Amino acid sequence: MAALPKSDELFSKINYKPPQSGWMDTPAVLRDGMFCYAAKPKSVETLNLPYPREWNPKNEDWLLPENWKEIIYEGMRDRLNRFRTFKIFMDICVRCGACADKCHFFIGTGDPKNMPVLRAELIRSVYRNDFTTFGKTLGRLAGARPLTLDVLKEWWYYLFQCTECRRCSVFCPYGIDTAEITIIGRELLNLLGLNIDWIATPVSNCYRTGNHMGIQPHAFKDMLDFFVDEIEEVTGVRVEPQFNKKGADILFITPSGDVFGDPGTYTAMGYLILHHYLKVKYGLDITWSTYASEGGNFGFFTSNETMKRLNAKMYAEAKRLGVKWILGGECGHMWRVINQYMGTMNGPADFLEEPVNPITGTKFENAKSTKMVHIIEFTADLIRHGKLDLDPSRNDHLKVTFHDSCNVARGMGMFDEPRYVIKNVCNNFYEMPRNCIKEQTFCCGSGSGLNASEDMELRLAGGLPRANAVKYVHDKHDVNMLACICAIDRAALPPLMDYWVPEVSVTGTHEMVANALIIPGEKEKTVDLRGEELPGK
Amino acid sequence: MRLNDLLEQKKAAIVKQWFNMVVNTYSLDTSQFLKNQKDPFANPVGNTISQGLEPLFNELTKQMDQNTIISFLEPILKIRAVQVMFSPSQAVSFIFSLKETIRKNLEKEICDNKVLNELMLFESKIDEMALMAFDIFMKCREKIYEIKATDERNRTFRAFERAGLVAESQEDRLCD
Amino acid sequence: MNSKYMFSLIAVIVLISLAYVGVEAAGLQVIFGIVIPYMAVLIFIVGFIYRVMDWASSPVPFRIPSTCGQQKSLPWIKHSKIDNPFTAGGVIVRMFFEILFFRSLFRNTKCRINEGAKISYIWEKWLWLASLAFHYSFLTVLIRHLRFFLEPVPVCLQLLENVDSFFQVGLPGLFLSGAVLLASVTFLFLRRIYIPQIRYISLAADFFPLFLIISIATTGILMRYFTKVNIVGVKEFAMGFATLHPTVPDGIGSLFYVHLFLVSVLFAYFPFSKLMHMGGIFLSPTRNLPNNNRAERHINPWNPSVKIHTYEEYEDEFREKMIEAGLPVEKES
């Protein structure tokens, strides 16, 4: 009998044969769903950043300035002189491969250029070519290659496929931090006006109106007033948020995403309820600001100068209002900026007092210079001293697991405080496996300004390792709520869950705190803040 | 059922080869990672594939229970639907790899013309499964587009609508 | 065939031939025994210092440690003092474990849920183990060589040798360190060849030092156990070298010059290559700084002055709307 045709012959057209060429010889193919739209010129102009123009990554011509190579070269030289990190990370990688399979984008997309080491090599190869003796003389053999348009496009494509989560840096024997390399790489791209719109427009909005969403002061207040009505409906208590109030004890700043987007809105209501509780019970005077109405900082994803420009508002507003210290809401990269950059960039904050919790007398020693305290630290301290009247059984319909946000995890190390708070406000808490949490936490896949809609495939693929771990606790313990302390998580995890584990919802931690909090004068509650019925009511 | 006996006998080898063919649709270095990294949390893609293929194979030898098949096909296709390096045909092509694996493993029996009829029937089942896979793939893609379309709306518009507010600059952005 | 490692292999073979022919045929003992080694040592010292000074000349604008444990916050929360150091002391301990025990490389914790997961667990430990074995055996070999440069040989060196040749197999005693060095460096090489991910990311510059070290270890072992190099001659040479009265004694064979030349190449190559990770690890800002930014301000020497959108500008733009919404303002219209 004649040999049967093999299916790979029949389907030779559809059998995906990977390129066998080395990575330097495999130019990046920009695939839809994996990248974000280009920055609109208007947003770039607002910030006076270079080369605003209409351009499209899909077009052959990126309308670069004529001397773009020189700009990149000068930019690299300048940054090598300004950042020891950059210089060392360019030089000392031995390509041991310990980081290779630690990146959620590599795990999810299977694209080898998403191995952290290779992402860095994209830039290192050009660095060697332009700045090292061996690279200049031996070229390819020393792992060097000249900067070409293809290389630049590859940079752009893959530097916007990194969420700067730092998971790889945990495993690197030299602490090489891909986030740092990505940050500097994106700074270089910004020198040519090559930002993405999902970052550039929030930055420009934040600069002008005080928050990423571009919400003007009156609308900001309207939105919080609306929350006041909602809260009254659920609890029977009318809370009274204060705005731009001079002489308040504490200035409260949180990401605007929580004021304007679900399910962050419920977290924002949680803050309002907590603030109200502390005012009624202990006389604590907390104010919001419409000018500094953004905790998040997409400037961090643009350049360190832009980050500084946006961050400066926090201290400026605290000074103007004459508060004692600043309380910060739940957010990821906001807290990396506050913890590792703010004091350096915009300090010293000598016009503020060293933060003390006036209710418990606890001194926040770890924040005595920057004078900004994380609301989870604050709430944990209140709970520890028995200052909150909590009924965790109100959250009995929830089986909760906790997602450590990358920036808070690896740029700060806040692990036990949120767990302490969660365990005190709900009765059913289950951890995901150890290599998916705490310092080894997997990113939501949408950090560092990549939470747009047009790159949804990238986000869903990058979020797969996280979703996979959630699915595990869902299958095993029937977990139905994913708690987090990050506004980008609250925006990014719902679609991720919707796709991979639709049975699991997403909540901010202070939403659960507020639901468990027994507010003086409250009516018999039958529903939670989301209007969902409470167990046994 | 002679063919089924044979398949049962050679199941381990066939499923293993099938698995290798599926992960080989990824680039070389990635496929090695998918094969070798056994930790399900460090390697959800490889793990999902390896968990799914054997039950799928079992169903082909049995009654082809639709729900069971979907429950194992779906996790694999969900992943391939977000991995945009695959075209739709590439994404579902892994089902057909089973045909080649079986033919290779039963070469002797096929040449002896003993199981050919049964094999043709069996291959129709594989085709059927491939069609199901395509349906699931399309459903996943539709889901992605739905998420894309409603993501922004769910996040901001819903909250705005509840509050009866729609701010100007936000409107600008959405209309762009 | 992989051009990356073929190139490196050929380069090392050429180097070996160069030394062999140079000594054997051209009689260039003075060049290979005196001139090149001195130059190599000079390049190494000057180059190493230059590179470290060059790194150090770039400031550390931000204090950005990767935090791998619980931060110091409230007094009742257990602080992870090593993985998330708050003080200089904590940093020193962290660096100590990082440098001496490759703690980060060890960190790969794999949970074992299904069968087989055990394999990945063991596999991950191999890289850590091989690196550790490689670096420590190299260090031991290096220290052992000091016996050639010192007279009398210090007691501690004798002791080290006794431990190292614990498994005495006839005479001369077999040094464990040499065997471990060769085995571990071979493992690191095979890893680059056989794991596709690692092969994909490897450069010629990753293979070259491996081949070089393999050749150095092999020539060393050959001399000691097989060709039985003239130890007295070598010692005479080394003492002369160390006391800056170099001589070229007779009867130490070309193999010695090959060995010496390869070591010289390694020394000279060192400062220009990734081998500088030896110095770099001490300066890595994600590891050598405490996570205490919020308690102690870090200074950025080039902290840029930037244009800020002030509250006044903001209020000027939105004043009417703010007044209408009942928000307090600084200037009434």
Q: Tens digits of per-residue pLDDT, B12-56?
A: 999 999 988 888 877 766 777 777 776 677 778 888 888 889 899
CB-based contact (8 Å) between C152 and chain A?
no
Does A208 share its domain with A235?
Answer: yes
Mean pLDDT score across all residues of chain A: 92
Instruction: Please give the Cα distance from B49 to A77 (Å, whole number).
Output: 46
Does A349 share its domain with A457?
Answer: yes
Instruction: Specify the range with the lowest mean pLDDT, choosing from A16-20, A91-95, A409-413.
Output: A16-20
C93 CA: distance to closest CA in chain A (Å): 15
- From chain A, pick out residues whose CB is under 8 angstroms from the CB of B163: 222-223, 226
Does C316 share its domain with C195?
Answer: no
What per-residue confidence (pLDDT) applies to B167? 45
CB-based contact (8 Å) between C308 and chain A?
yes
Chain C CA closest to residue A288: C327
**Phi, psi angles (nearest 5°) of residue A409:** -75, -55
Does A257 share its domain with A398?
Answer: yes
Contact B38 C120 (CB under 8 A): yes
- Residue C249 burial (C-beta neighbours within 10 Å; 0-12, 13-18, 19+): middle
B41 CA: distance to closest CA in chain C (Å): 8
Does A227 share its domain with A333?
Answer: yes
Contact A107 B45 (CB under 8 A): yes
Instruction: Please give the Cα distance from C323 to C312 (Å, whole number).
Output: 15
Q: Is pLDDT of A327 > 80?
A: yes
What per-residue confidence (pLDDT) applies to A48? 92
Does C315 share its domain with C185?
Answer: no
C72 CA: distance to closest CA in chain B (Å): 29
Does C73 share its domain with C178?
Answer: yes
Mean pLDDT score across all residues of chain C: 89
Contact A92 C276 (CB under 8 A): yes
Q: Is pLDDT of B170 > 80?
A: no
- Final residue belonging to a domain, choices A143, A177, A195: A195
- DSSP assignment of A292-329: T-----GGGGT-HHHHHHHHHHHHHHHHHHT-SEEEE-
Q: How far does CA C24 lie from the centroid of its chain? A: 34
Best of C87, C102, C126, C284 to substitute, by most chain A Cβ atoms within 10 angstroms, is C284
pTM of the predicted protein model: 0.91
Nearest to A299 by CA among C244, C307, C311, C259: C307
Q: Is pLDDT of B1 > 60?
A: no
- From chain B, pick out residues whose CB is under 8 angstroms from the CB of A436: 41
- Report yes or no on A412 lying in a domain: yes
Task: Pick the more confident residue, A198 or A212.
Answer: A198
Neighbours of chain A (3+ CB pairs under 8 A): B, C
Confidence of residue C182 (pLDDT cuts 50, 70, 90): very high
Q: Considering its fold, how many domains does chain A have in total?
A: 2
ipTM of the shown complex: 0.91
What per-residue confidence (pLDDT) applies to A9? 43
Does C168 share its domain with C20?
Answer: yes
Q: Is pLDDT of A22 > 90?
A: no
- From chain C, pick out residues whose CB is under 8 angstroms from the CB of A372: 294
Does A49 share its domain with A120?
Answer: yes
Q: Tell me what the mean pLDDT of segment A24-38 comes to.
A: 91
**Contact, A30 vs A56, CB < 8 A?**
no
B-C CB pairs within 8 A amount to 36
What per-residue confidence (pLDDT) applies to C332? 81
- From chain C, pick out residues whose CB is under 8 angstroms from the CB of B42: 110, 120
Chain C CA closest to residue B33: C197
Confidence of residue A10 (pLDDT cuts 50, 70, 90): very low
Nearest to B101 by CA among B53, B48, B38, B31: B53
What per-residue confidence (pLDDT) applies to A197? 94
CA B12-B15-B16 angle, 5° bins: 80
- From chain A, pick out residues whose CB is under 8 angstroms from the CB of B143: 498-499
- DSSP assignment of A208-264: HHSSTT---HHHHHHHHHHHHHHHHHHHS------BS-TT-SEEEE--THHHHSTTH
Does A185 share its domain with A243?
Answer: no
A6 CA: distance to closest CA in chain B (Å): 6
CB-based contact (8 Å) between C199 and chain B?
yes
A190 CA: distance to closest CA in chain C (Å): 16
What per-residue confidence (pLDDT) applies to A479? 97
What per-residue confidence (pLDDT) applies to C111? 43
Does A354 share its domain with A408?
Answer: yes
Q: Tell me what the mean pLDDT of segment C26-51 comes to.
A: 94
Query: Domain range holding C86?
Result: 3-302
C125 CA: distance to closest CA in chain B (Å): 13
Does A415 share its domain with A441?
Answer: yes
What per-residue confidence (pLDDT) applies to C117? 31
Q: Is pLDDT of B172 > 80?
A: no
Q: Tell me what the mean pLDDT of segment C177-181 comes to.
A: 92
Q: Is pLDDT of C18 > 80?
A: yes
Give the total residue count for chain B: 176
Contact A435 C61 (CB under 8 A): no
Q: Is pLDDT of A1 > 80?
A: no
- Report yes or no on A523 lying in a domain: no
pLDDT of C131-147, one tens digit each? 999 999 999 999 999 98
Confidence of residue C168 (pLDDT cuts 50, 70, 90): low
CB-based contact (8 Å) between C291 and chain A?
yes
Confidence of residue C158 (pLDDT cuts 50, 70, 90): confident
| Domain layout of chain B by residue ranges | 2-146
Does A238 share its domain with A169?
Answer: no
What per-residue confidence (pLDDT) applies to B35? 73
What per-residue confidence (pLDDT) applies to B162? 62
CATH number at residue C280: 1.20.950.20
Does C255 share its domain with C278?
Answer: yes
Does C19 share its domain with C133?
Answer: yes
Which are the contacts of B86, defined by CB distance < 8 A and separation ≥ 6? A16, B25, B80
What per-residue confidence (pLDDT) applies to B164? 61
Q: Considering its fold, how many domains does chain C have in total?
A: 2
What per-residue confidence (pLDDT) applies to A20? 62
- Final residue belonging to a domain, choices A151, A175, A195: A195
CB-based contact (8 Å) between C331 and chain A?
no
Does A164 share its domain with A232?
Answer: no
Q: Is pLDDT of C170 > 70?
A: no
**Contact, A363 vs A355, CB < 8 A?**
yes
Task: Pick the more confident residue, C128 or C161.
Answer: C128
Chain C CA closest to residue B50: C114
- From chain C, pick out residues whose CB is under 8 angstroms from the CB of A216: 318, 321
Q: How far does CA A20 lie from the centroid of its chain? A: 36
Chain B CA closest to residue A440: B42
B45 CA: distance to closest CA in chain C (Å): 15
How crowded is residue B11: how many other Cβ atoms within 10 Å of its Cβ? 15
Instruction: Please give the Cα distance from A470 to A225 (Å, whole number).
Output: 35
Q: Is pLDDT of A308 > 60?
A: yes
CB-based contact (8 Å) between C190 and chain A?
no
Q: Among residues of chain C, what percentage have pLDDT more than 90? A: 65
Does C238 share its domain with C330?
Answer: no
- From chain C, pick out residues whose CB is under 8 angstroms from the CB of B16: none
Residues 70-109 of C with CB under 8 A from B: none
- From chain B, pick out residues whose CB is under 8 angstroms from the CB of C200: 28-29
Nearest to A265 by CA among A198, A200, A220: A220
pLDDT of B116-144, one tens digit each? 888 888 999 999 999 999 999 999 999 99
Considering only the beta carbons, identify the residue of A81, A85, A216 that sits closest to C318: A216
Q: Is pLDDT of A421 > 50?
A: yes
Instruction: Specify the range with the lowest mean pLDDT, choosing from A108-112, A193-197, B96-100.
Output: A108-112
What per-residue confidence (pLDDT) applies to C169? 56
What per-residue confidence (pLDDT) applies to C306? 95
Q: Is pLDDT of C238 > 80?
A: yes
- Final residue belonging to a domain, choices A170, A195, A220: A195
What per-residue confidence (pLDDT) applies to A16? 34
Considering only the beta carbons, identify the residue of A81, A93, A290 that sits closest to C327: A290
Does C231 share its domain with C316?
Answer: no
Mapped onto helix, strand or coil, the DSSP state of residue A62 is coil
Instruction: Specify the range with the lowest mean pLDDT, choosing from A9-13, A229-233, A236-240.
Output: A9-13
Instruction: Please state whether beta strands A481-484 and A372-374 pair in parallel, antiparallel, or not at all (unpaired).
Output: unpaired
Confidence of residue C124 (pLDDT cuts 50, 70, 90): low
Which H/E stretch holds residue C163? helix C155-164
- From chain A, pick out residues whose CB is under 8 angstroms from the CB of C285: 84-85, 88, 175
- Report yes or no on A6 lying in a domain: no
What per-residue confidence (pLDDT) applies to C162? 79
Does C267 share its domain with C318?
Answer: no
Best of B18, B35, B82, B166 to substitute, by most chain A Cβ atoms within 10 angstroms, is B82
Sign of CA dihedral A392, A395, A399, A403: negative
Does C327 share its domain with C196?
Answer: no
Q: Tell me what the mean pLDDT of segment C143-169 comes to.
A: 82
CB-based contact (8 Å) between C195 and chain B?
yes
Does A244 share its domain with A144?
Answer: no
Q: How far apart are the first and last CA of chain A?
A: 74
Instruction: Specify the range with the lowest mean pLDDT, choosing from A164-168, A311-315, A489-493, B155-159.
Output: B155-159
Considering only the beta carbons, identify the residue of B30, B32, B39 that sits closest to C120: B39
Q: Is pLDDT of A2 > 90?
A: no
What per-residue confidence (pLDDT) applies to A260? 83
Task: Pick the more confident residue, C228 or A426.
Answer: A426
Contact C204 A210 (CB under 8 A): no
Confidence of residue A12 (pLDDT cuts 50, 70, 90): very low
Q: Is pLDDT of B168 > 50?
A: no
Q: Tell me what the mean pLDDT of segment C175-182 comes to.
A: 90
Contact B38 C195 (CB under 8 A): no
- From chain C, pick out residues whose CB is under 8 angstroms from the CB of B19: none
pLDDT of A233-276, one tens digit each? 999 999 999 999 999 999 999 999 898 888 999 999 999 999 99
Best of C125, C191, C200 to substitute, by most chain B Cβ atoms within 10 angstroms, is C200
Q: Is pLDDT of C121 > 50?
A: no
Query: Domain range holding A77?
Result: 24-195
Contact C111 B41 (CB under 8 A): yes
Nearest to A491 by CA among A288, A290, A271, A212: A212
Confidence of residue B159 (pLDDT cuts 50, 70, 90): low
B40 CA: distance to closest CA in chain A (Å): 9
- From chain B, pick out residues whose CB is under 8 angstroms from the CB of C110: 39, 42
Does C111 share its domain with C226?
Answer: yes
Residue type, A22: G
- From chain C, pick out residues whose CB is under 8 angstroms from the CB of B44: none
**Contact, C91 vs C82, CB < 8 A?**
no
Does A48 share its domain with A190?
Answer: yes
Instruction: Specify the range with the lowest mean pLDDT, choosing from A185-194, A505-514, A519-528.
Output: A519-528
Residues 108-127 of A with CB under 8 A from B: 108-112
What per-residue confidence (pLDDT) applies to B110? 81
